[in-house]
Amino acid sequence: MRRLLCAALCLILVSGVALAEKTILLTFTGDCTLGGEESTRSWETSFDSVAAAKGWGCFFSAFTEMFAADDATIVNLEGVLADSTDGAKGIKNFRFRGDPAYVAMLKNASVEVASLANNHAMDYGEEGLQSTVNALKSAGIRWIRRGAYIVLKKDGVRVALFGVDADGFREEGKFLCSEISRVKFEDEVDAVIAVCHTGKEHVPKHYAVQANTATALIDAGADLVIMHHPHVVQGVAVYNGATICYSLGNFVFGGNTRIQSKTYYRNHPATNLYGLVVQAELHFTDEGKYIGQQVFLYPILTSGDLQTNDYQPRLAISEDAREVLECVQFDTAFTLPDYDEDTGCVTLPFVEALPDAD
């Protein structure tokens, strides 16, 4: 794995001649739920029960080294960290909650940023959201929420991370795009990444709304779009100098005690056993000008048990990697490169930034 990343540092060219001087390596995961539903909390197979029986370190253990080696790891935290059910309002099919102390799982796994731009961050209203934010603050973990952004800094380079959810984009899409343009083109940041929660659940092909959202964000100035919500992996695309990952699927997901699979079009599998961890290496000149990106796809199995979820994702290699990547290919218009036999990793072609408009 590290050989691939180190090699990438040495190979990137600007206009075919000049080596990039600065890089930022970011890691993205799919949906993380540290906890579960109230009705399953006492089950032997629940996230809480597994945490008590096996210890809190088991869930992220296969990825701690990877996360520690990057510049920032960004997870989609889909659920609430709260001591009580206060704040629950209205009728909702699923509400996810975990102990606020579970935030230590993220901190110990070298997770630096949590996206709260999703449809479960408000499962327990403003009370639950504030409890989650307080837990993240206590652990020194930053967060992004609907329409808001944070800035990651390294070696004088500034990268903005925006949180986007489906409802927020429908209601405030024009404002969000204008805000991305403002921070990108008024030189407040050198690159922009949009982390989006949208799509249709358990469908292995992305919908037009996902493509339309991604292209609108890129047209506004986003350099990379990472998506989740469908709970299954979907494809990747390149548009106007930016990579789109339509769905990373699940990661450490306490929302389901069992692995859920079904047959889709022409016997194609749609399963939450398969997921992706994506690493994006952003390249800049020595002066901080963004010049392009190299994206790495790591296929994963979200559980070591193929039926009962053990909430312990691990890298998929060999035949497992092939099956996960077939699902990615099913929704990808171009042919994916071969994967690395040892890690399962697919290294996508380098994507150059579009030249500046005159």
Per-block mean pLDDT, blocks of 10 residues, the chain (358 long): 42 43 96 97 97 97 98 98 90 92 98 97 96 98 92 97 90 91 92 96 94 97 97 97 98 96 79 97 96 98 96 97 96 98 96 81
- Residue 230 has a CB neighbour count (10 Å cut-off) of 28
Instruction: Note the pLDDT of residue 69.
Output: 98
C-alpha span between 244 and 334 (Å, rounded): 13
Token pair belonging to 106: 């993220």
- Residue 310 has a CB neighbour count (10 Å cut-off) of 19
Contact in structure between 226 and 278 (CB atoms under 8 Å): yes
Contact in structure between 237 and 213 (CB atoms under 8 Å): no
pLDDT in tens, 152-190: 999 999 999 999 998 888 888 999 999 999 999 987 899
C-alpha span between 201 and 325 (Å, rounded): 19
Contact in structure between 323 and 339 (CB atoms under 8 Å): no
Query: C-alpha angle 346/9/74, rounded to 5°?
Result: 60
Instruction: Note the pLDDT of residue 91.
Output: 76
With a CB cutoff of 8 Å and minimum separation 6, the contacts of 55 are: none
Helices (H) and strands (E) in the chain, counts: 8, 22
For residue 142, the SS3 value is strand
- The radius of gyration computed from the CA coordinates of the chain, to the nearest angstrom, equals 19
C-alpha span between 53 and 13 (Å, rounded): 50
String of DSSP letters for 179-240: HHHHHHHTTS-SEEEEEEE-S-TT-SS--HHHHHHHHHHHHHT-SEEEEE-SSSB--EEEET
Amino acid in the structure at residue 131: S
Instruction: Note the pLDDT of residue 129.
Output: 96
For residue 353, the SS3 value is coil
Token pair 């000049």 in the structure block, residue: 18
Tell me which residue of 88, 32, 15 sits closest to 289, measured CA to CA.
15
Contact in structure between 141 and 106 (CB atoms under 8 Å): yes
For residue 79, the SS3 value is coil
Token pair 């408009």 in the structure block, residue: 357
C-alpha span between 189 and 199 (Å, rounded): 28
Instruction: Note the pLDDT of residue 21.
Output: 84
* Fold entry, domain 2-352: Purple Acid Phosphatase; chain A, domain 2 (3.60.21)
Structural domain spans, the chain: 2-352
pLDDT in tens, 18-54: 454 899 999 999 999 999 999 999 999 999 999 999 9
Amino acid in the structure at residue 175: F
Write down the pTM of the prediction. Answer: 0.93
Contact in structure between 334 and 288 (CB atoms under 8 Å): no
Instruction: Note the pLDDT of residue 357.
Output: 54
Token pair 């961890």 in the structure block, residue: 277
Instruction: Note the pLDDT of residue 8.
Output: 43
Contact in structure between 76 and 111 (CB atoms under 8 Å): no
